[in-house]
Amino acid sequence: MTARAGPTTHDVTAIVNGVERRARVIPRLLLADLLREEWGLTGTHLGCEHGACGACTVLLDGEPTRACLVFAVQVDGCRVDTVEGLAGDGAGLHPLQEAFRARHALQCGFCTPGILMTLTAYLREHLAPSEAELREALSGNLCRCTGYQHIVQAALDAAAAGRATAPPA
């Protein structure tokens, strides 16, 4: 839709959830709109469109990034990971998603994709976080439903499970 609305366009190529994708975009198109409207990846949600709520968090070259604050043209040549790719190709759930389900760490589910992406990146680098550290890591993602308690428990469970299955250093 937006690709045809502007006079100037740019070609963007990105590796999205492991697959190369291309688009021709207007300069001001947001990454979130590219993902959602052009590529059909609607798991990335827009909650505030000013970078405060974290619902649109994706991984850009592995780093948690607000898709509402990044232009589509900025991801040319980058790797983008969204919630749709978290569990890989299988039909099952990623261990963090499993922990969320087991702990009832989501209610309406709208903020959940952004929280999952934030925690995925965090837990990759922090194998044994304390509860306080996890709360700090989550503090850029707003959830109005859960009160965070079950999210924190799920993340602690996932971290413990990750340590249990990790190959010895």
Partner 1 sequence: MKFVGDRHLRKEDPRLLTGRGRYVADLTLPGLLHAVILRSPHAHARIRRIDTERARAHPGVVDVVTFADLGPAGRAMPVAPPHPALRGHNFAPLAGDRARFVGEPVAAVAAESRYAAEDAIELIEVEYEPLPSAQTLAPGAPAVHEDVADNLAGRVSLTRGDVEAALRAAPRVASVRLRIGRGGGQPMETRGLVADWNAALEQLTVWASSQVPHQIRQFIVDLLDLAPHQVRVVAPDVGGGFGAKLIVYPEDVLIPFLARRLARPVRWIEDRLEHMLAATQEREQEHEVTVGFDDAGQLLALRDRFVHDTGAYTPRGLVVPLLTASMLTGPYRIPAVESTFESRYTHRVPVTPYRGAGQPQAVFVIERVLDLVARETGRDRAQVRLANLVRAADMPWDTGLPNYRGSGHVVLDSGDLPSVLRRALESAGYEARAAEAAAARAEGRLVGVGVASYVELTGVGPFESARVRVDAAGRITAWSGVTTQGQGLETTLAQVAADELGVTPADVTVITGDTAGVEHGTGSFASRAAVVGGSAVALAARDVHAKTRLLAARALGVAEADLEQAGRAFTDRRRPERRVTFAELARLAGAATAALGVEPGLESTRFFQPTDMTYSSGAHVTLVELDPLSAAVRILGYWISHDSGRLINPLVVEGQLQGAVALGIGSALLEEIAYDETGQLLAGSYMDYLLPTATDVPTMVIDHLETPSPLNPLGLKGVGESGALPVPAVLASAIEDAVGPTGGRVTRMPLGPARLMELLPPVLSGDEGTGRDRAT
Binding site for partner 1 (CB under 8 A): 1-2, 4-6, 26, 28-29, 33, 36-37, 41-50, 52-53, 55, 82-84, 86-87, 93, 97, 100-102, 104, 106-113, 116, 131, 134-136, 138-152
> 97, 132 in Cβ contact below 8 A?
no
How many C-beta neighbours within 10 Å does residue 132 have?
A: 9
Considering beta carbons, is residue 14 or 29 the nearer one to partner 1? Answer: 29
Considering beta carbons, is residue 77 or 131 the nearer one to partner 1? Answer: 131
Give the shortest CB-60-to-partner 1 separation in angstroms. 17
Name every residue whose Cβ is closer than 8 Å to that of residue 130 and which is 6 or more positions away in sequence.
Answer: none
Closest C-alpha to 115, from 153, 155, 163, 165: 155
Give the shortest CB-163-to-partner 1 separation in angstroms. 22
Name every residue whose Cβ is closer than 8 Å to that of residue 161 and which is 6 or more positions away in sequence.
Answer: 95, 99
Considering beta carbons, is residue 25 or 168 the nearer one to partner 1? Answer: 25
